[in-house]
Amino acid sequence: MNESTTEAAPAWDAAMEAELLRRIDGKTKPVGALGGLEILAAAVARTQRSLTPRLETCCLTIFAADHGIATEGVSAYPQAVTRQMVLNFLGGGAAANVLARSLGVALRVVDAGVAGEPVVHPALVSSRIAAGTRSCLDGPAMTSTELDAALGVGRALGADGDWHARCFGEMGIGNTSSAALVAHKLTGLSLDPLVGRGTGLADPGLARKREILGRAAARTVPCLGPHDAMAEYGGFEIAMMTGAMLGAAAAGRVVIVDGFIASVAALAAVGIEPAARGAMVFAHRSAERGHGAVLASLAAEPILDLGLRLGEGTGALLAWPIIKAAAAMLTEMSSFESAGVSGPA
């Protein structure tokens, strides 16, 4: 484990916070001149509880699972694509693979509950809870026992390894439907603005998706806590990602949150353990409808806005070099005093 996340790390108190801000303002630049980079640097320092944070290594974990609601025609793609994309990840051919390789980020693929027989591959982490969730149109997507198992596995996967930062991606046909329903129940916001085109539904398909999800939402009371919302409407990959964010945050890792679905997992994680919010950095504003509302619920300002709506952790990967640079600025950049540069008059 790296030195900034050991048990010997000091408690973060008012004196540490004041020193952090003094150091950032004392770098050889006008106060506030690095804008959001300074905010990111401070967030990393607080997460690692270090005034000289190290942020050199990162791992992307992609959780894959299927959703019973997909059989209702809420996606432009067939459910078989989940398994096919898992094999694509394992073969190194997906967008997430390409970006991770180009940035030197480790990548793991987890079967959290892909439909059909278990996928067999030496590089796959098989942690499947079941062969997909049940349709939330007719009843709960998963049992409380299944939810607890997914959260527990996720916590362990989020805390393991010695990476300084963790990204979490997802793959699961139908998971924008699941995420929209979970967000609706957690925030109390109207369902309609949370429901987007997902994999690219045309207008008739989008109308059907809204109608199906409206019927599913009507089964339960307007607002639910995070455990009930995920049991009723979540996916195994979303629940496992929620656990992974909690595990990584508890281990002092920076949690780089991807797009719409990952942000819903973050929303659930913060609902379970509010302190986890401090470890989270939000990578980008997705083009998927509803992401802005979820970000607002988390008081989150994303780093990038590139019109992405792919998932897989791709937005989180693209934000990684910026977050890494922010930590390097805090640790390596000279102060006016150390560089012998005159400060403001």
* pLDDT at residue 2 is higher than 70: no
**261 and 182 Cβ atoms separated by less than 8 Å:** no
- Residue partners of 254: CB distance under 8 A and separation at least 6: 43, 44, 47, 48, 55, 164, 165, 166, 279, 281, 323
Mean pLDDT of 144-156: 98
Q: What is the CATH number of domain 10-54+327-339?
A: 1.10.1610.10
* pLDDT at residue 4 is higher than 80: no
* pLDDT at residue 186 is higher than 80: yes
Per residue in 306-339, pLDDT tens?
Answer: 999 999 999 999 999 999 999 999 999 998 889 8
**89 and 138 Cβ atoms separated by less than 8 Å:** no
**pLDDT for res 182:** 98
**pLDDT for res 10:** 67
**pLDDT for res 8:** 52
Residue 126 pLDDT grade (very low, low, confident, very high; cuts 50, 70, 90)? very high
Mean pLDDT of 60-75: 96
Look at residues 267, 225, 242 and name the one whose alpha carbon lies nearest to residue 112: 242
* pLDDT at residue 281 is higher than 50: yes
Residue 341 pLDDT grade (very low, low, confident, very high; cuts 50, 70, 90)? confident
Active-site hit among 56, 117, 312, 337: 312
Q: What is the mean pLDDT of the chain?
A: 95
* pLDDT at residue 193 is higher than 90: yes
* pLDDT at residue 3 is higher than 70: no
Domain boundaries, the chain: 10-54+327-339, 58-322
pTM comes to 0.94
* pLDDT at residue 163 is higher than 70: yes
Query: Who has greater pLDDT, 275 or 12?
Result: 275
Per residue in 255-276, pLDDT tens?
Answer: 999 999 999 999 999 999 999 9
**pLDDT for res 339:** 84
Query: How many of the other CB atoms lie within 10 Å of CB of 220?
Result: 16
**pLDDT for res 344:** 78
Is 312 one of the annotated active-site residues of the chain? yes
Beta strands 106-113 and 124-126: pairing type?
parallel
Distance CA(49)–CA(31), nearest Å, equals 23
Mean pLDDT of 118-139: 97
**pLDDT for res 199:** 86
Query: How many of the other CB atoms lie within 10 Å of CB of 104?
Result: 11
Residue 9 pLDDT grade (very low, low, confident, very high; cuts 50, 70, 90)? low
Output the CA–CA distances (angstroms, integers) from residue 11 to 49, 165, 238, 277, in the order listed. 7, 20, 31, 17
Domain range 58-322, CATH architecture:
3-Layer(aba) Sandwich (3.40)
Residue 1 pLDDT grade (very low, low, confident, very high; cuts 50, 70, 90)? very low
Mean pLDDT of 54-81: 96
**pLDDT for res 342:** 85
**pLDDT for res 172:** 97
